[in-house]
Structure 1
Amino acid sequence: QYHALSLARHGRNVALLGYLRDRPHGDVLRSERIRLVPVSDLRALRVGPKVFQYVLKVIVQAIQLLYTMLKIEQPSYILLQNPPGLPGIAVAWAACLFWRSKLIIDWHNYGFTTMSLTHGRNHLLVRMAEWYEKLCGRLSDHNLCVTNAMKEDLWVNCNIRAVTLYDKPAAYFKETPLELQHPLFLKIAKDHEPFRPRTESASWSAQRSAFTEVDEKSGDVIKLRGRPALLISSTSWT
């Protein structure tokens, strides 16, 4: 969604393909340059062994996605986020051949490594997915990634040249006010001891967390003196 918004703000018309499991961001819905193209979310096809079910689902998804891509207005570029790339990369490449467009892959991770967390590194499906991803990934015209480590790995292990574009939050991401931080910390403190103040009292849950407290005189929420550092490692902003 954020890529679509950025492109739209720079004067590009965007057809945004994706599942409508959740309501898109309001700015996406209000943009005159962004057209939503919903893709049906296929449920598991419970016919035969699991491997057969997975292969069948990929084939059906490929046909569905290609049909959807060929219905949109001819694009100059197709920007695909990976993962998921199976069957997206191959389908997007085929659509680019049809439209004579350029394929850009935004590499956030490898799909086969994510799959290996469930099936194991040596599972047949994982090895097939790795072969597919490394082969089809080379068919792109341009490649983006969010870290230099990913850029180097793409080149060393996949022979794919990429450009590093660091993630950054959208403009509407702002620091959370203390008045909202405080009740959140108190809520988390009920289940996680590090969020509780070091010196607990009978009323700690109502007035103080490990990071914030309510000033007794003014009633305002303030940062607690001697509070510990809180380090948050986010998922991708995009």
Structure 2
Amino acid sequence: NAHNLPTVELGNSRNLKVGQWLLAIGMPFGFYNTVTQGVVSALNRPLPHDDEYIPFIQSDVPINPGNSGGPIFNMEGQVVGINDQIYTNDGGYMGLSFSIPINTAMRAVHAFEEHKKLRFGWLGVDVQEVSPQMAQALHLKEPVGALVASVSPHEAAAKAGLKPGDVIVTYNHEAVYSVGQLPPLVGDTPPGTTVPMGILHNGKPETLQVTIGTMPAKMRHVEAEKTADIR
């Protein structure tokens, strides 16, 4: 029932760039109000043992047990992420920290406020890595992108004209270098949004306009069963 509590300003996590400085505030090992610093190491990072539809911010900001749930700030003092996980062998910081982008978190907040379910974007395709041999067969200069293995009928990708054998190389102006980058980019897109998707069709570049669908509830249940806590 409190009123007029002090708050921090929220930023736009889509504006983050690799190499940008960040600050984290938390309580590692019980030490209150600890500030650590680092840089953005990578963006839209999928985690193979966690929810692959969350585009995590990877940084080298020192985060330890007790930091989870704390804010990560840009240099304007705006919250751009929520500290979530680390990769570690001994339970301590090893240089790999992962934060949930604030834009992703606020999508959940707005859904809760409106008493709606949180919906993830959905293309309706099976994709696989492009191997050097596949790249040569597809007349690609290098093995990058996500190779479309199959397209579900009546889903977003099929309606946009995507075909098996096409290679997705950009999504909403973001480069897709590997197959793992695609799920978090799609999942973080609000259903009903139309985005440009760059593909290679028979080795020739094309741009498709794709209206993103909604991930089926049964798929979310299957993915949830695959998750593992790596904090």
TM interval, shorter chain, is: under 0.3
Q: Which has the higher strand share?
A: 2
Q: Which has the higher helix share?
A: 1
For normalisation by structure 1, the TM-score amounts to: 0.20
Tell me the TM-score normalized by structure 2. Answer: 0.21
Task: Report which structure shows greater RCO (CA 8 Å, sep ≥6).
Answer: 2
